[in-house]
Amino acid sequence: MIRVFYVRRMDQSDMDDVRSDGGDGSARLTMPVGVSQMHASKSKLINDNVHGHYEIPAYVVECMDTEHFQRLRDISQLGTASYVFLGATHKRFAHSIGTSHLAREMMAHLYRHQLGFRQIDNEREFQEYSRLVQIAALCHDLGHGPFSHLFDNEFLTRRGVADVPQLHHEARSLMILHDMIDSYNLDFDREDRAIIGNMIDNPAETLGRPRFLFEIVANKSSGLDVDKFDYLARDCQTLGLKYGFDHQRLIGCSAVIDERICYGQKEIYSIYDMFNTRFKLHKLVYNHRASKAIEYMITDILLHADAHLKISESITDPSSFMNFTDSIIRVIEMSKEASLGASRQLIRRLRNRDLYRFVDEVLVPANTADVSEVDISTSQDSNSRLQPDDLIVFNMRANFGMRQKNPVDHVHFFQNWDSKSSFQVDRAKVSYLLPTQFEEKTIRLYSKKSDPDSVDAAKRAFRRFIRSNRIGSLFPSPEISSAGALKRHRVESANGSTP
């Protein structure tokens, strides 16, 4: 949760370290340097349940107070996870503000900790770069569609959309950003736009600016960036989970050496913990089997509605795309349009908790070829009548963020604050207890039909395929009892209980 308060800006002499402690030091508010007094009356004080109290400068507020950014209030950060995890209700809105705040903090810290040759050596230049980094962080998720990654990974993929520049949310974020700047006549020239755009979607191209600036928001070389710092901390807190790293310590132990963001060598364990936290969230939360079943149902709802609502066509037009948020489900549900009937039927199933059924899954080596619905349906026995369209195969990958590579191999470290050079650390020199593999794959099967006979037939076909191809070790799974499964099906359909 984020609460926003308008505040009057303090004098520049008070900016570097503002403390409010009532005389006893019990509460402390520290504000990084870098807010212009010319916007004194328009800054905002944020009360963030993840990062505490902090101030948002006026040039960030100007972007926040637009319909383009406010739309993120209606885009779930974790997609369909709230159907399973009660606390997973936070939005892209809060994450984007938190990411901008961390970008400001990290930029201020790195400006003070440029070891060796200083890439930025005057306050005015720092202020301008800090402004651009904060805006990039704030706007990096403007292009997300309904239910966040569901829109790109499932809806557009299954709709067959391809060869469109705006296929991925990063490119759409730039499209929305440019429209926002034009619509509100915001103070960003062509050069500013190019720099912000590359900070979001093309950090390999630095446009002649210091390279480390393009590693703060979206670090493509290692994955260590403020976007990840915020969403891991925010997701874990709202889910009620403990996470094994301190993003504030990582920021405080960072420095710039040879144009790269580097970290103190003692932080290597925290960095491994961070990537392990990412892995666990993907495996246990983001791809939870019930949440994923609901994700597939909502995908089908959107696919059935696409011919009438032109959802997939909207991705190249900012004004059209901005109409689509999570609320599209309610819009379809309340509509009387006959062509939306199939979508409404699926919404009714969703409301009654008559979900697509998880059938079975198998853990396989990461390099195993993907399995398709046709593979499973052609493995059914003679007594079954499965169709590929009745099934959904999820080829799930969970990793440290770089597929089968170790992202820590791409992180640069320094020995102490007097260092003038950086180095990389071989995993074997850190600990023998660290992982040797960095990605796992699970093949999971769902049935769109929830009746016990269909689920049982799908399970038999799945296990037959796995055994005949010898591609993994099946989890122990008792045979489905038709009577017991039918009773469970009826009870859940009536009561809407969570699987």
Among 254, 217, 222, 248, which residue's Cα sits nearest to residue 96? 217
Whether 169 is a known active-site residue: answer yes
Among all chains, which residue has been given the structure tokens 């790269």? 260
Q: How many whole angstroms separate alpha carbon 86 and alpha carbon 98? A: 21
Indicate the burial class of 216 (C-beta count within 10 angstroms; 0-12, 13-18, 19 or more). Answer: buried
Q: How many whole angstroms separate alpha carbon 205 and alpha carbon 227? A: 19
Q: How many whole angstroms separate alpha carbon 388 and alpha carbon 372? A: 9
Q: How many whole angstroms separate alpha carbon 154 and alpha carbon 142? A: 19
Q: What is the DSSP string of 360-413?
A: EEEEE-TTPPP--HHHHHTT--TT----GGGEEEEEEEEESSSTTS-GGGG-EE
Chain centre to alpha carbon of residue 147:
11
What DSSP character marks residue 478?
Answer: P
Chain centre to alpha carbon of residue 126:
29
What is the pairing mode between strands 391-399 and 439-447? antiparallel
Q: How many whole angstroms separate alpha carbon 459 and alpha carbon 384? A: 11
Single-letter code of the amino acid located at 132 = L
Among 100, 95, 120, which residue's Cα sits nearest to residue 43? 100
Q: How many whole angstroms separate alpha carbon 71 and alpha carbon 95? A: 13
Q: Which of 51, 95, 169, 247 is catalytic?
A: 169
Q: How many whole angstroms separate alpha carbon 351 and alpha carbon 492? A: 11
| Coil, helix or strand at residue 126 | helix
The four Cα atoms 158, 288, 340, 92 give a dihedral, to 10 degrees, of: -90
| Coil, helix or strand at residue 439 | strand
- Structure tokens given for 184: 């509100």
Among 56, 134, 133, 88, which residue's Cα sits nearest to residue 284? 88
- What residues are paired with 4 via a beta bridge? 46
Residues forming the active site:
169
